[in-house]
Structure 1
Amino acid sequence: MSDETKPTLPDHLSCDPRSPHHVAAVFEHPIGIRLNGKERHDVEEYCISEGWVKVPAGKTLDRKGQPLMIKLKGTVEAYYR
């Protein structure tokens, strides 16, 4: 598959379909995220310009039953695998 058919990766993207930052067309292709040069496989949301990612905090759930997220800061790179 060529790169022309893939949508450009947004600056702010979320895996949660309820989020205003969710772009379904992007998730039709495998995405990779690097934080400070290390590849992360547990990223739920990221923002490149602000330099953060949100990852689940273990098995902890919030009061709505969703995973509790923690924000990690650093240099964020998003790419298609």
Structure 2
Amino acid sequence: MSAGVPWPPSGFNELSPEEKVDYVQSLWDRITASEDRVPVPDWHKEVIRQRLADPDANPRDWDQVRDRITRELRQSKLKV
């Protein structure tokens, strides 16, 4: 962080928890407005590659997630 920027910013400690979250969200929105300037660690990219390579292991829609969880719960109850 730059030596010229106060931390936390002036008035931040006086904000309510909800206002602090809103403030941080606003900062993040500003940072990500230029996606090409946000660094993505290699390990994030690797996780995405793995998840895309095996869509059954990593469902991307709610119906698939619910079905997988239901199936796993049923199987675990059968083993008891």
Q: Same fold (TM over 0.5)?
A: no
The structure richer in strand per residue is 1
Q: Which has the higher contact order (CA 8 A, sep 6+)?
A: 1
TM-score, length basis structure 2: 0.20
The higher radius of gyration belongs to: 2
The structure richer in helix per residue is 2
